[in-house]
Amino acid sequence: MRIGVLTAGGDAPGLNAAIRAIGEMGLRDGHEVIGIANGWAGLVDEFNGTALTAADLRGVIGQGGTLLGTARFNLDKPPGGRDRVLAAIGEHLDALVAIGGDGTQRISNWMADRGAPVVGVPKTLDNDIPGTDYCIGFDTAINIVAESLDRLHTTAISHHRVIVVETMGRSTGWVAAMGGLAGGADMIVIPEFPITMDEIVEHTNRRRSLGLAYSLVVVAEGVGLDTLGGIESSELSGENVGGVRHATRGVGYFVAAKIEEQGGFEVRTTVLGHLQRGGSPTAHDRIFATRVGAAAYDAVVAGKFGMIPVVRDDNVVLAPLASVSEGQRKVPREIYDLCTIFF
């Protein structure tokens, strides 16, 4: 078989571990494994695929990024983009494994509905693809958030300051909530459970009245500025898949300015940004990516197309692509309540 593999959307630590699993299993069984460059972009014009060799896959399990390259590419922009990809799959490949987030899986589902032999793999450090407990990249991201909070705590305490830490999380608060819990954040603000600016300031004031003149306030980038009394920037309405640049709205800076103004604290802001996505994956991400990569390969060989391996209660199971293609998995009340216990 000629099995294509692509990574689409934002990169995430662990992608190479998934590519390695698919590649090494394919080579072991005598298949040709074709690495498609730069996500869907590598299929829409010239076919941009190269057969992977054992040497390509050596030593990559611990490397961040993606050896295939990736792109935020809106397939609906070039005329007939989706149909051109369908044609390229038909002409060059017997199967395609698409590793990516919700947007990628929506496209994969569309392709599979039209008979393309596509299998997905769940990746997004936002960890919000529906139907799976984990996505590639999430564990590394929350470890980076936790380590950053450990470091920021010592300086916040020394200077009696409030430090606002903005994390990734375009639509949901998984990274802020779980990274914040692990790093002992003093307050965690996420899109799923809106609170007002007054409540945030009140919390830092209450801590000060208890003798805790410092606070680490973690804010997910996707928190609605309007719910905090700010004005949403027009950039939010970007229609391109890469057009929604939440970090540029500056929700962290907005919260920091208000705490300074209303609470009279000395405040600093740290936007963790792409530090959460770069560098070496954790052992958990390497293992998880290997498990879902291997399961995707098995699905391809078994001809189970239109499916995606997901993890539920620590078991990897196959789910229909359609079941992960709509909406986001939100942080549940039980996790949020934990975030609010600690002051």
What are the residue numbers of the active site? 126
Smaller CB distance to ligand F6P: residue 109 or 124?
A: 124
Contacting residue, 116, 125, 156, 299, with ligand F6P by CB under 6 A: 125
Stretch that binds ligand F6P, among 122-130, 183-191, 204-212, 307-315 (CB under 6 A): 122-130
CB closer to ligand F6P, 168 vs 292: 168
Q: What is the SS3 string spanning 17-76?
A: HHHHHHHHHHHHCCCEEEEECCCCHHHHCCCCEEECCHHHHCCCCCCCCCCCCCCCCCCC
Stretch that binds ligand F6P, among 16-24, 86-94, 107-115, 121-129 (CB under 6 A): 121-129
Pick the piece of the chain touching ligand F6P (CB under 6 A) from 90-98, 163-171, 224-232, 320-328.
Answer: 163-171
Q: Is 191 in the site for ligand F6P (CB under 6 A)?
A: no
Listed residue (42, 98, 38) closest to 67, CA to CA: 38
- 295 φ, ψ (degrees, to nearest 5): -65, -35
126 binds ligand F6P (CB under 6 A): yes
Q: Give CA–CA dist 155/151, Å, rounded.
A: 7
Q: Closer to ligand F6P at the Cβ: 127 or 290?
A: 127
Cβ(116)–Cβ(90) below 8 Å = yes
DSSP characters over 112-126: HHTT--EEEEEB-TT
Q: Which stretch binds ligand F6P (CB under 6 A): 76-84, 120-128, 143-151, 185-193?
A: 120-128
Instruction: Find the shortest distance in angstroms from Cβ 252 to ligand F6P.
Output: 13
Nearer to ligand F6P, 148 or 215 (CB): 148
Please enumerate in sequence order all residues whose Cβ is within 8 A of that of 224, keeping only pairs 6 or more positions apart, or say none. 191, 194, 232
Which residue in the set 49, 169, 179, 230 belongs to the binding site for ligand F6P (CB under 6 A)? 169
For residues 123 and 184, give the distance between their C-alpha atoms in angstroms, rounded to a whole number: 26
R_g (Cα) of the chain, nearest Å? 21
Residue 136 interacting with ligand F6P (CB under 6 A) = no
Q: Is 168 near ligand F6P (CB under 6 A)? A: yes
Q: Rule CB under 6 A: is residue 128 a binding residue for ligand F6P? A: no
Near ligand F6P in 59-88, by CB under 6 A:
72
Residue 4: DSSP 8-state: E
Taking residues 236 to 255 in sequence order and writing x for each that binds ligand F6P by CB under 6 A, - otherwise, the string is ------x---x---------
Closest residue to ligand F6P, judged by C-beta, is: 168
Q: Is 13 in the site for ligand F6P (CB under 6 A)?
A: no
Report the run of H or E that residue 127 belongs to, with start and end: none
What residue spans of the chain are helical by DSSP H?
15-28, 41-44, 54-57, 81-92, 102-113, 138-159, 174-182, 197-209, 251-263, 283-301, 333-341
Q: Restricting to residues 284-343, which ones interact with ligand F6P according to CB under 6 A?
A: none
Q: Which one, 139 or 260, has the nearer CB to ligand F6P? A: 139
Could you give the angle at the alpha carbon of 129 between the alpha carbons of 124 and 130, nearest 5°?
Answer: 170
Calpha distance 191→155 (Å, rounded)? 27
Position among 70, 124, 215, 325 found at the interface with ligand F6P (CB under 6 A): 124
* Cβ 326 vs Cβ 109: under 8 Å: no
Residues in contact with ligand F6P by CB under 6 A are: 10, 72, 101, 124-126, 168-170, 221, 242, 246, 277
